[in-house]
Structure formats: C-alpha cells, structure tokens
Amino acid sequence: MKWMLYAIGSKMYNETVIVFGDNNQLNGILTAPDIYKSDAAVLLLNSGSLHRVGPQRLYVNIARDLGLAGFLSLRFDFSGLGESFAIETNLPFKEQLKHEISWAMSYISSHKNIHKFIIIGICSGAETAFHFALNNPSIVGCIPINGIYLEGDEYVSVIDNALERTKVRYYKKNALNLSRWIKLLTGKSKVLSNRKLLVSKFKHLLTNQTSKVIEQKSEPQILNRHRQAYNSKTKLFYIICEGSVAFDLFELLLKDWFKKENTSDHFKIKILADTDHLFTLSYSQSILRHEILDWMALYFYHDSE
C-alpha cells in the first residue's frame, strides 16, 4: 500500500511500529527518545490477555513517560495476543514466552545497539518478567507488579486461602460503607452466592480474626526463587496493590523473609494503598507512573549521555 507520510510535530520521542521474531509474527511499538539518557531499554510485557496498550492504556502512558525521560522502550504482544499472530510451536507456553522476550531483546540490540534491559509486567506479565530476569544477565532491572509467582501444587495449596483473605480485607475496609452493604444485602454481591464464605466473612468481621495461616511443612519453593533473585545483580522493584490477591500471597509467604533480608538497595518493595489489581482509577495510574519513573531515574538515568 502507498500511504501519505508527514513529519509529526516536535515531540521528545518517536513511536514506530515494528515486527520481529520468527516470520515477523510479533508486533510491537518502539518508543524512542530524541535524546537518550540511559544505556538500558525497557520491555513492557502483556498483562494477562490484555493487548500491549495495557489496562486503561497504562502501558502507552508509561512508554511515553519513559520516552520523555530519555529511555527507549518496546511494548509488544506475545504470540496469539493483541496484534501478534499465534505461532505454532511444540515448546511449553512459558518457554515460548522466553523465546519471544529474547527476540524482542535481539531486535533492540541489533537496531539500537542497546544490550541492557529493564523488564516490566503487571499480573501474569510480572511473573513472566520475574522468571525471565532470574536467568538472564542482560536484564539489569525488573519491575514485577502484582505478580503471584506460584505454580502447580504450590499455587493450589495457597490460592483459596489468599483469595479469602482478600475478601475479608475488603469487608473490613468497607465495614462502614452503606452503599457497599446495600449491594451485599440486596443480593447484588457475588459473596451471597457462596453462603459458607459469607458466614466466614461475618465471623472474621465480628471477631477481628485474621485469616488462618497456612501450614508450611517445608520452606516454599517461591522463597528459593526470590532468594535467587536477591542474590543476582538484577535490581528488583516489586510493586503490590492493596486490592490485589498478590498482596495476600505476599503477606502469607514472603513478608517475613523480606523483612529479614531486605537490606540491599537493589531490592525494593512498595505496597500501594487504595489501588486495585489493574490500576483502574486515573489517580492510581498516576501513582504507578511516578513510582516507575522515580525508580528508573535512581538507577538507570545517566544525564551525561
């Protein structure tokens, strides 16, 4: 096709559509700053099945913030999501994701001569980012946001308890909110569909009990992975929202260890109050954008470049 192309008015960054990977089946938007202020590039990974614009266009705004600050970033869709075609492969799903992240890095290395990367993801994107960062020396920074990090039996053994804790926290927080009680009592709340859960919630509210602590026969595997991350050179910035089940999993499995070990400056954790799992409200999006920029500026911004 022939398309009319004009120069865009002066901006501090440029956005380009790129295709890469096997048979160019992956599609992404590269946001390049006019003046580079870092020798590391940022990769934004899909949040669940949402395409690369992110929830409420959050990834677009983060990429543009970074562009204005002098960082190059790539937000792309994994195969089968958003604008990328599915790839036929015999590889396990998670292995395929690792390949696709590597292709994104190779593209940036060969076209922009950047060989260090910071990887950001929300929800499942956080887990993918975290696991990829563990075994890849090119990843110098990682911001996993509301990651769960559990799989298999470990996930099954703890997720119900964590979800219940989330709901109990919700009702405690809103015990004095009339409109939310009306929603509950008029049968519009999902809680009523599970009477057993409802009874347990009232019990928790009345007795101020905390949720039962799961019995751990041995140290959870999840700790090993975080310890491995702690011992690596990758800088990590965990962000967890109060409204996410990730908060409860953190409380149940990791909080004590973090308290004990968190003495290193390359290992930061931030709990965001009054924010839901996908940063729905504009104010929570703005908090997240500032947190990311501040952390990036602290470790990866080089004014002399």
* Contact residues for 103 (Cβ-Cβ < 8 A; gap 6+): 20, 21, 22, 26
Please report the DSSP string for 60-126 in residue order. HHHHHHHHHHT-EEEEEPPTTSTTSPP----S-HHHHHHHHHHHHHHHHHHHH---EEEEEEETHHH
Distance separating alpha carbons of residues 160 and 80, to the nearest angstrom? 29
Backbone φ, ψ for residue 301 (5° rounding): -95, 125
Query: Quick one: which segment of 93-101, 212-220, 221-229, 282-290 binds other proteins (CB under 8 A)?
Result: 282-290
Q: Does 283 bind other proteins (CB under 8 A)?
A: yes
Determine which residue in the list 87, 276, 289, 299 makes contact with other proteins, applying CB under 8 A: 276
What is each CA distance from 109 to 72, 106, 275, in whole angstroms?
Answer: 12, 5, 36
| Residue 99 binds to other proteins (criterion: CB under 8 A) | no
**188 touching other proteins, by CB under 8 A:** yes
Contact between 87 and other proteins per CB under 8 A: no
Per-residue contact flags (x/-) with other proteins for residues 103 to 142, judged by CB under 8 A: ----------------------------------------
Mark the segment that binds other proteins (CB under 8 A) among 110-118, 124-132, 186-194, 293-301: 186-194
User: Toward other proteins, which CB reaches closer, 30 or 133?
Assistant: 30
Name the one range near other proteins by CB under 8 A: 211-219, 242-250, 253-261, 297-305.
242-250
Q: Min. distance of Cβ 57 from other proteins in angstroms?
A: 6
Sequence-distant (≥ 6) Cβ neighbours of residue 213 within 8 angstroms = 252
**5 vs 213, which CB is nearer to other proteins?**
5
- Beta-carbon contacts of 100 under 8 Å, excluding residues fewer than 6 positions away, are 21, 26, 78, 79
The binding site for other proteins (CB under 8 A) comprises 1-9, 15-17, 19, 27, 29, 48-53, 55-57, 60-61, 82-83, 85, 169-170, 173, 177, 179-180, 183, 188-190, 241-244, 273-276, 279-285
